[in-house]
A and B are shown apart, each in its own frame.
Chain A
Amino acid sequence: MKILRRIKDKFKKLMRKKNTVRHNAQSFCAKEAPKNIPGLRETVIEQAKFSNPQHLRQGGRFMPQELPSEYGQDQMALLVRDYRWLYTYWEVKGSTWENLKKSLGGEFHRAKRVLRAYDVTAIDFNGNNANRFFDIEINESANNWYIDTNGPGRSWCVDLGLLLVSGRFVTILRSNTAHTPFEGPSWITDEEWMIPEDMFARLYGMGFGLGRSSAAGKNWQIFSQVISSGGVASMASPIKKVSQEKDFWLKVDCELIVYGATDPGALVTVQDKPVNLRKDGTFTLRFSLPEGKQVVPIKARSADNQDERNITPIITRETK
């Protein structure tokens, strides 16, 4: 109990720290945004929450920052990751557990928690007529699992259940049915659209951009090689970033700032190009400075055209 509390305290501290950071990151927005814009309300609430939770609770509802860990429902879903792997997640509500404990008595605690994956290809599954099934023993805290079916082109259904010491399997939840795709081309051909094996092999290879010289043959595995060499997706950069040659590095460049001041009404040119003066008659120019000598004649002519001053800095950059 003590340890648990300590962990909790630590967690709270951590969260507080995190929240402070978040608050700082947002503060620049709060400062600049006008107070009466409608979209601000939730943000302001967030910020108030971060800096002073007590104050906020008095003011009615606030938005939680984290999603609930459970929804109080019995639910199990089965998703297909690829032709081989499935993913399942589940939630069992408290009362379901209570009922199981009641009905199974002592057996409940001795039972193993198991995922039972049924191959239900081409059948109307009723719980007992699967083509085959296999079990995966899982730990009690798990609420999701990746399942290696090694079974492309099949239909699957998964039970979360208890395997009793007696060998009896008790289903707690049953998932939806999901279908894994084929790993390669279908062996079924269409009479109306018959295709010679060799021609299909050529088209198959070409479809994957393997060129015309070699037919793919029956080595359909080429597909996985092609695809895993890096697919694409929206939001991805297709352009490769070239990594640094060495870990340690140094870059140096030089710029030159030329600045000055004159009568605010004067006309100033730098290298014969007119320069804008600030209201107080000062000016600043910034140049990327290449190797070698730069001659920078600066001329100022008075507003009444009576006076002129010339100053010419000469700068040499020599990088060794």
Chain B
Amino acid sequence: MHKGYLAIVLHGHLPYVRHPEHEDFLEEDWLYEAITETYVPLIWVLEKLAEENVNFRLTMTLSPTLISMLSDPLLQERYLLHINRLIELAHKEIERTAWQGQFNSLARMYLEQFTLARDTFNRLQRNLVNAFRALQDAGKLEIITCAATHGYFPLMDVCRESIRAQVKVAVAHYEKTFGRKPRGIWLPECGFYPGHDEILKEAGLQYFLSDAHGVLHGTPRPKYGVFAPVYCKGTGVACFARDLESSKQVWSSIEGYPGDYNYREFYRDIGFDLEYNYIRPYIHPDGVRINTGIKYYRITGTANHKEPYSPQWAREKAAEHAGNFIFNRQKQVEYLHDLMRKKPLIVSPYDAELFGHWWYEGPQWLDFIFRKIAFDQDQIRMVTPSEYLAENPRNQVITPSMSSWGWKGYSEMWLQGQNDWIYRHLHTASARMTELAKSNNGTNGILKRALNQALRELLLAQSSDWAFIMGTGTHTSYAVRRTKDHLLRFNRLYDEIKANAVDNQWLTDIEYKDNIFPDIDYSLHQ
């Protein structure tokens, strides 16, 4: 008989980066790398588990921007070019390393991985969302939604109309993609501000996730800490809080599993290591060295000297770490069960890209986790949040605290010297969008197109990713440019709509560039 629940949640998100006007665009690589390194390997793990009838549960966000990019024909076409180039490079690497057995077998490993990734991509009609949809329909995976473009809600409280648009556009997009309504939402950066649960309720959402202090610092005190969900006072929307112990074990750069010396070293990539003229065709067309994805070393230690990677050793470590993770959860569940006199729920949310992209062995580790929990023990049962609620409908009612999972736990990452200038512009644009939506009921033709495009531009400007990148202080120019470009396009649309003088040619042009959410409805911004 199980003594507690475990809910693993992966947050899959990338900002919308798609530049049809440029043949080769560096930031689009974020998507291509994520496909090869994270999403395809995850699909391999999950499909195999489903095929072998292993009883597992996983909850996963697929953010509307990520879904839109994965489903976009232009980006799909470009991914094929990208993976074909990598396959070509892997072939060359096999030849080049002919006299060095260890590197040679790694080059072969990459060739196989890239070729299989391409096969999987083609088998899924180039759209990975198809695989996730099928897994959800099979009852193993619960896909939740996210804000339309990952806007950070606590800093949008002065324009709740935009929060409503972020949520409702996302829900509509989810329904169209998956043929059902989403049950839960991942609030971008786990950013919660009391009262925003009303908007979630309006949109028909049952639950969201928060960081630990969102619940621990809620009012009144949560009786079961983070180990049971709470309902928001006034709305009954459930809030599931992150357990930091299980998070730290995986996530922490100091104590976490991914730092083990046997795992693959992320920062030693042949894009930086190899002779320039040889690697030139596979790095940025400007000649700037970038990661290719082919990495030959293991972390080895803290020094600069690195030893070649051994897939076998790394795999054994992943199995050992999965065993350790489960052992710790068992101890945790046992202790909590005695303390609470109730089955605790441990919620372990992670960024999806940790698995595979940053932590190469992450998908293997997940695979071991699912199998060991299914076959080697009976103290822990895996659940999805909505399954938990169905079985445990009686929960405490509190008002969760404002919180995020970002640096220092609140909004500072997105509100500091480098990025605070954006809010006066974003909020003004929000107010203008509300004004436009109010004064334009039931439009059609070019006016309707312009209004819908205005909402697209506003949403795209609101992505928390831009503020985040500015906040890190490095490579900020792209994030600054995106914020400005979308706001400038919005402002011009606003002026043209007000003057009833929409420039059709220009509108067509930006519709083509910023083509996200083809069925968007501007009246959702209210």
- Which single member of B15, B303, B513 contacts A245 (CB below 8 Å)? B303
Q: Whole-angstrom distance between the alpha carbons of A187 and B21 in the complex?
A: 57
The answer to whether A190 and B223 have CB atoms under 8 Å apart is yes
A285 within 8 A of B: yes
The answer to whether B213 and A29 have CB atoms under 8 Å apart is no
A window 45-79: CB within 8 A of B: 61, 63-68, 71, 73, 75, 77-79
- Which single member of B398, B402, B491 contacts A68 (CB below 8 Å)? B491
B484 within 8 A of A: yes
The answer to whether B23 and A32 have CB atoms under 8 Å apart is yes
Measured between beta carbons, the chain B residues less than 8 angstroms from A83 are 410
Closest residue of A by beta carbon distance from B409: A227
B window 415-444: CB within 8 A of A: 415, 420-421, 423-425, 427-428
- Which single member of B21, B227, B396, B423 contacts A190 (CB below 8 Å)? B396
Encoded as 1 (CB less than 8 Å from any B CB) or 0, chain A from 233 to 264 comes to: 11111111110110001000001000000000
Interface pick from A166-174, A286-294, A299-307: A286-294
Nearest CB in chain A: distance from B171 CB, A: 20
A186 within 8 A of B: yes
Measured between beta carbons, the chain A residues less than 8 angstroms from B267 are 239, 241-242
The answer to whether B99 and A200 have CB atoms under 8 Å apart is no
Most buried by B among A65, A71, A288: A288
The answer to whether B251 and A234 have CB atoms under 8 Å apart is no
Q: Whole-angstrom distance between the alpha carbons of A318 and B184 in the complex?
A: 62
B106 within 8 A of A: no
Determine the interface band of chain B, counting residues with CB < 8 A from chain A.
35 or more
Nearest CB in chain B: distance from A258 CB, A: 11
- Which single member of B304, B340, B505 contacts A41 (CB below 8 Å)? B505
Most buried by B among A28, A144, A181, A245: A181
The answer to whether A227 and B408 have CB atoms under 8 Å apart is yes
The answer to whether A286 and B21 have CB atoms under 8 Å apart is no
A142 within 8 A of B: no
A window 61-108: CB within 8 A of B: 61, 63-68, 71, 73, 75, 77-83, 85, 87, 89, 91
A212 within 8 A of B: yes
Q: Whole-angstrom distance between the alpha carbons of A236 and B251 in the complex?
A: 11
Closest residue of B by beta carbon distance from A227: B409
A231 within 8 A of B: yes
The answer to whether A89 and B423 have CB atoms under 8 Å apart is yes
Q: Whole-angstrom distance between the alpha carbons of A70 and B103 in the complex?
A: 59
B468 within 8 A of A: yes
* Contact A238/B244 with A80-B411, A185-B217 known, Cβ cut-off 8 Å: no
Encoded as 1 (CB less than 8 Å from any A CB) or 0, chain B from 463 to 475 comes to: 0110011001000
Nearest CB in chain A: distance from B377 CB, A: 19
Most buried by B among A26, A183, A239, A289: A239
- Which single member of B96, B252, B409 contacts A255 (CB below 8 Å)? B96
Nearest CB in chain B: distance from A33 CB, A: 6
- Which single member of A33, A206, A238, A288 contacts B97 (CB below 8 Å)? A288
B308 within 8 A of A: no
The answer to whether B413 and A233 have CB atoms under 8 Å apart is yes
A interface, over-half SS: loop
A179 within 8 A of B: yes
- Which single member of A184, A189, A233 contacts B406 (CB below 8 Å)? A233
Q: Whole-angstrom distance between the alpha carbons of A211 and B259 in the complex?
A: 21
Q: Whole-angstrom distance between the alpha carbons of A229 and B103 in the complex?
A: 37
Interface pick from B149-157, B200-208, B385-393: B149-157
Q: Whole-angstrom distance between the alpha carbons of A163 and B13 in the complex?
A: 48
B134 within 8 A of A: no
The answer to whether A81 and B243 have CB atoms under 8 Å apart is no
A window 2-32: CB within 8 A of B: 25-26, 28-29, 32
Closest residue of A by beta carbon distance from B395: A193
The answer to whether B100 and A288 have CB atoms under 8 Å apart is yes
Encoded as 1 (CB less than 8 Å from any A CB) or 0, chain B from 445 to 470 comes to: 00000000000000000001100110
- Which single member of B92, B397, B428 contacts A73 (CB below 8 Å)? B428
A313 within 8 A of B: no
Nearest CB in chain B: distance from A2 CB, A: 30
- Which single member of B243, B331, B489 contacts A209 (CB below 8 Å)? B243
Measured between beta carbons, the chain B residues less than 8 angstroms from A80 are 154, 157, 193, 402, 410-411
* Contact A182/B253 with A234-B189, A239-B358 known, Cβ cut-off 8 Å: no
The answer to whether B253 and A230 have CB atoms under 8 Å apart is yes
Measured between beta carbons, the chain A residues less than 8 angstroms from B244 are 207-209, 226
The answer to whether B513 and A42 have CB atoms under 8 Å apart is yes
Q: Whole-angstrom distance between the alpha carbons of A231 and B248 in the complex?
A: 10
The answer to whether B224 and A203 have CB atoms under 8 Å apart is yes
Nearest CB in chain B: distance from A306 CB, A: 29
The answer to whether B213 and A232 have CB atoms under 8 Å apart is no
A154 within 8 A of B: no
A122 within 8 A of B: no
The answer to whether A242 and B158 have CB atoms under 8 Å apart is no
Q: Whole-angstrom distance between the alpha carbons of A243 and B254 in the complex?
A: 14
Q: Whole-angstrom distance between the alpha carbons of A61 and B241 in the complex?
A: 51
- Pull 21 A–B residue pairs with CB atoms less than 8 Å apart, ordered by A: A38-B509, A42-B21, A67-B484, A67-B488, A68-B491, A80-B157, A179-B402, A185-B217, A188-B219, A193-B222, A209-B248, A212-B331, A223-B213, A223-B409, A231-B406, A236-B468, A240-B254, A245-B304, A255-B96, A255-B278, A286-B278
- Apart from A64-B488, A207-B225: 16 A-B pairs, beta carbons within 8 A: A43-B21, A63-B488, A67-B484, A79-B415, A81-B411, A82-B410, A87-B423, A89-B420, A143-B424, A186-B220, A188-B219, A206-B243, A208-B244, A231-B407, A236-B468, A238-B251
> 9 closest pairs, A vs B, by CB?
A203-B225, A209-B244, A209-B245, A82-B410, A240-B253, A227-B409, A39-B21, A186-B219, A181-B402
